[in-house]
Amino acid sequence: MANYLQDQRKVTTHRLAEMKQRGEKIAMLTAYDYSMARLIDEAGMDVILVGDSASNVMAGNMTTLPMTLDQMIYHAKSVVKGVKRALVVCDLPFGSYQGNSKEALASAVRIMKESHAEAVKMEGGSEIRESIERVLCAGIPVMGHLGLTPQSINKFGTYAVRAKEEAEANKLIEDAQMLEEIGCFALVLEKIPATLATRVSQEVNIPVIGIGAGGGVDGQVLVMHDMLGINKGFSPRFLRRYADLSTIINDAVAHYIDDVKTSDFPNEKEQY
């Protein structure tokens, strides 16, 4: 058995920093409910993200914007109950932290108190510096998120690769350095050129977790429904599918319907 699967110690922000130092890649995946979080944790995941992608894959919305703080707390509470080892990080949803730093702190405190998640993730750089600092001052670990930040999709107008031009790439590097300086424990880089992501990962000491950012970073994150093939309508180049659960679920449900219709289920052993 691989060493990383034998290590049953609780993952902390400190242990993630150690993993970066010794060159061990960090595995991170989203989860939104108790049962899936328990399976993912038992498989040995390092970080479980209660992402606001719940808006897309759980609630069927087109964007992450409709997610509320109450909804994030509901999902995070369920996830935390299923997790023993992984670090649980919860997204601060759109509109719960951009207004001012007091609002950001109040939102982050609610997540920590009510869900028992262990850290929050916030999208953005210098524009939300004050909000991040205020949350950090309360002793709440913050994971940054730069590059394609889906809460700003209406500003971007497209989910295309970000920071291809020099000016945006330079701003992203400055933001990453700033997030490290003020005390973020890690950083997600979404959908940016691999060379830029590798450079950021080399220039900052905090772990950099990529999604669509190539293999030169310190870890990877995917949305659980995408990598398990539950949600097959989304096929960006960066996505690797590890299962075809939509076919497995469809076949199983069709089989059940057939068994009910033909009176095959329940049989004599399946009744009292």
| Interface residue list for ligand KIV (CB under 6 A) | 30, 49, 51-53, 91, 188, 190, 211, 221, 223
Q: What 3 state SS string does the chain have?
A: CCHHHHCCCCCCHHHHHHHHHHCCCEEEEECCCHHHHHHHHHCCCCEEEECCCHHHHCCCCCCCCCCCHHHHHHHHHHHHHHCCCCEEEEECCCCCCCCCHHHHHHHHHHHHHHHCCCEEEEECCHHHHHHHHHHHHCCCCEEEEEECCHHHHHHHCCCCCCCCCHHHHHHHHHHHHHHHHHCCCEEEEECCCHHHHHHHHHHCCCCEEEECCCCCCCEEEECHHHHCCCCCCCCCCCCCCCCCHHHHHHHHHHHHHHHHHCCCCCCHHHCC
Give the closest residue to 119 by CA, choosing from 144, 151, 99, 101. Answer: 144
In the complex, least distance from residue 261 CB atom to ligand KIV, rounded to whole angstroms: 38
Minimum Å gap between C-beta 51 and ligand KIV is 2
118 is catalytic: no
Give the Cβ contact number of residue 43 at 10 Å: 11
| Annotated active-site residue in 174, 190, 268, 270 | 190
Nearer to ligand KIV, 11 or 120 (CB): 120
**Least spacing, CB of residue 67 vs ligand KIV, in Å:** 9
Which among 140, 203, 136, 143 has a CA at the least distance from the CA of 169?
203
Using the minimum distance from each CB to ligand KIV, give the nearer residue, 7 or 127. 127
Q: Please identify, using beta-carbon distances, which residue of 104 and 120 lies nearer to ligand KIV.
A: 120
**Beta carbon nearer to ligand KIV, 53 or 107:** 53
What's the distance, CA 191 to chain centroid?
14
Minimum Å distance from CB 13 to ligand KIV? 17
Residue whose C-beta lies closest to ligand KIV: 51
Which amino acid makes up residue 101? S
Q: Minimum Å distance from CB 68 to ligand KIV?
A: 14
The least CB distance from residue 147 to ligand KIV, in Å, is 10
Residue whose token pair is 């995070």:
76
**Closer residue to ligand KIV, CB minimum distance, 59 or 263:** 59
Instruction: Compare residues 140 and 223 and give the one whose CB is closer to ligand KIV.
Output: 223
Residues involved in catalysis: 190
